[in-house]
Amino acid sequence: MTTRRAIPIGAASGYEGSGPIGLVALLRQGWHEFLAFPAVIVAAFVVLAAFTLWMDNTDASWLKFGREQVIGRFVFVREEGTASVLGQLLGGLLTVISITFSVLLLAVQQTASSLSSEVYSQFLRRRVNQLYFGFFTGLAVYDVIALAAAHPKFNPVYTAATAVIMTTLGLCLLVVLIYSTVDQMRPSVIIESLRDHTLAARERSLALLRRTRRTSQSPAPVQFTVFAQRDGFLQNLRLDRLAQALADLRDPAAEIEVLHPIGTFVAYDDQLAVIRGGDRETASALAGRIQEALVLRSERDLQVDAAYGIVELQSIAWTTASSAKSTPEPPRLVINALRDLLGRWIAGTPERGEPATSEPVAVVYPDRLHRDVIDALVTTGIASNESLQHVVAISAFDALRQLLPRARGETREQVLDAIRTLLPALSDVLLTPRLEDALDALRRALEEHGAREVAAETSTALSLKQKEKGRVRSAAS
């Protein structure tokens, strides 16, 4: 029976829950994802307001000449008029911003409900959107400062002129913002962005993969099992802390096996890791430190969790390929993205990449990303059968056919298993000429690469579908 170390719920788990700590974590996450760049832009507008007010107050001759003989003579002649213009600018700007932002956020919400909730994150994560929000917020702050500075004994002509120029620029920028938002809501743009974020997350995880093992290499027995003290998604793995824990075991055969990859949901009292080697007492004393190294969060993070990108792509494909939407183009785009991702990862596995910059650690970390991509392709193919979309089935079989020559080892077996799983999904799909060609090409590719058993099954499925030509069946049959 495995011994457990009593740890208070939430302690040493890396989890940031509700309360003040949770609020700080939320603000930190918001600052990292969205707020930092807009805050810098707002600060720049505050500095600009301070500079233009200094220009309105300084006695420098050339600034005084422009203030009194140029701008103040033809445009902002009286203090009351300047304050009135600034007030109208501010009121109109706030009205336009509120209406425009509400409509754009409604468009984002509609797209997210149709495709994926990740649309929200993508919209906030894009630097150009942060620029727009920061600009309009900073411009409103600038107008507030300018309006507050205007009074019967002070006419801020430079500040007011700058407000007029920047507000005019902002109104022109609204047109660009509207087009940019609509363009970002296109399925092709969303899927491409998800693919890019998934690639980037995978690149960030390569250092972890190069320094860890995929299977256990220690002959030592399991001395202790670490259990989760609360629920959450495994968002990060602090490898240096695990390395220090291994050093404290003082056993050359010591090993820590992490049981779940990043992105896995862990419930309370689930197994997190096992410790091999050392003595039982020392191993149990390290359980809390190991839980600190396995960081749990309430949400997944696409920045470090490539599997989350696969889940989002699969969600888009299922929603649009199934009878819920019956839209063939988005799932075909998802299949193309999944094939591209797996093709890149097969060609550049960690073993063939750059050497690790740090020493390897006796930590077993499961990497299931290749399987996740293949499962997503299978799910999309199954959805095509449910909605009778033969074009999606064609794309799924073509993707597996083109991945087969490059797949090796376990990945190759997973591709073959995916083909065998999808063949029965053709039961209700009409055999069109393109689908017939796709299945025949798949059969030839399987034979060429030595998968004769799966090729025979594909040939049988194709023959059965060919016998149905000319027959009309009801959907219920």
pLDDT digits (tens, 9 = 90+) for 275-293: 998 888 888 888 888 988 9
Q: What is the mean pLDDT of residues 214-225?
A: 89
Q: How confident is the model at residue 327 (pLDDT cuts 50, 70, 90)?
A: confident
Q: Boundaries of CATH 3.90.1170.30 in the chain?
A: 204-297
Determine the 3-state secondary structure of 345 from DSSP: helix
Residue 471 pLDDT more than 80? no
Query: pLDDT tier at 5 (50, 70, 90 boundaries)?
Result: very low
d(CA 332, CA 393): 9
Say what the pLDDT of residue 135 is.
Answer: 93
Question: What is the predicted pLDDT for the residue at 7?
Answer: 41
Question: What value does the mean pLDDT take over residues 374-398?
Answer: 87
CATH for 204-297, options being 3.20.20.120, 3.40.50.1970, 3.90.1640.10, 3.90.1170.30? 3.90.1170.30
| Bridge partner residues of 295 (DSSP) | 236
Over the stretch 60-94, which tens digit does the pLDDT of each residue have? 665 665 555 556 555 655 677 778 888 888 888 88
Q: CB within 8 A of 252, min separation 6: which ones?
A: none
Q: Among 36-40, 120-124, 386-390, 467-471, which stretch is predicted with the lowest mean pLDDT?
A: 467-471
In the predicted structure, residue 382 carries a pLDDT above the cut 70: yes
Mean per-residue pLDDT of the chain: 83
pTM of the model: 0.78
pLDDT at 453 over 90: yes
Mean pLDDT along residues 423-452: 88
Indicate the range of 423-427, 448-452, 458-462 predicted with least confidence: 423-427
What's the length of the chain? 477
Per-residue model confidence (pLDDT) at position 358: 63
pLDDT above 70 as % of the chain:
86
Q: Give the model's pLDDT for residue 373.
A: 94
Q: Report d(CA 65, CA 310) in Å as an integer.
A: 63
Cβ-proximal residues to 70 (8 Å cutoff; 6+ apart), any chain: none
Task: Check pLDDT > 60 for residue 440.
Answer: yes
**pLDDT for residue 136:** 92
Of 46, 206, 193, which Cα lies nearest the Cα of 134?
Answer: 46
Average pLDDT on 366-381 reads 92
Question: Contact, 378 vs 420, CB < 8 A?
Answer: no
In this structure, are residues 214 and 366 in contact, taking their beta carbons and an 8 Å threshold? Answer: yes
